[in-house]
Amino acid sequence: MSKTISITVLGATGFAGANIVTEALQRGHQVTAVSRSAAEIPGVRTVQGSILDLAVLDQALEGAEVVVGALSPRGDMAGRVADAYAQVADKIAGSDTRFIVVGGFGSMKAADGGRIVDGPDFPAPFRAESRELFSTLEALRGRDDVNWTYVSPAADFGSYIEDQKRRGTYRLGTDVPIFDAEGRSAISGPDYAIGIVDEVEKAEHGREHISLAY
């Protein structure tokens, strides 16, 4: 690591967010963890509350060089994540602060050129949240005042996946899914976090939709 970076993680106690906080801390970065139920984490500045509250958002973004959005559009955040991310984008517009969004698998391109989320095989229970994350991508693409990166995970990604080992490796893709030799698209939480923090440090994919998988 060449320098210490000030990183704000939104949704820091969720599956993706918690893994990203852990990885960033292990690399010696300064981390602000934002959550409605932010527990005290050694070495981490915590901000408790909803980022839909502009006062909380201002506190969360204070001093941030990179903001990582790891919110889940479920529960009482269903239908509200896109608005929350729009507020973040408005706050950092025109600044040097970068915005990295934990996206959805459904946002990637299907073989027919459409979006995976719109395909007949996409699981219906997850369609609404996947479309909300895709709407965030579309909104970011429409802005020229925010340096963003949208990072889709593999299809098999989340706390429900049994294998959460940290292999220390991943493959970097574009907006087309990556599959392994067995035809599976998967990545663990720790290895997805490695890819996110690598992008935090390297800043190689500004204004791009990328993906991470084995």
Question: Would you place residue 2 in the very low, low, confident or very high pLDDT band (cuts 50, 70, 90)?
Answer: low
Select the more confidently predicted residue: 160 or 64: 64
* Model confidence pLDDT, tens digit, residues 90-148: 999 999 999 999 999 999 999 999 999 999 999 999 999 999 999 999 999 999 999 99
Superfamily of 6-213 according to CATH = NAD(P)-binding Rossmann-like Domain (3.40.50.720)
Cβ neighbours for 55, distance < 8 A, ≥ 6 positions apart = 49
* Model confidence pLDDT, tens digit, residues 193-212: 999 999 999 999 999 999 99
Residue ranges of the domains in the chain?
6-213
The values of phi and psi at residue 14, to 5°, are -80, 180
Tell me: pLDDT of 1 over 70: no
In percent, how much of the chain has pLDDT > 90? Answer: 92
Q: How much is the pTM? A: 0.96
Would you say 172 and 212 are in contact if contact means Cβ atoms under 8 Å apart?
yes
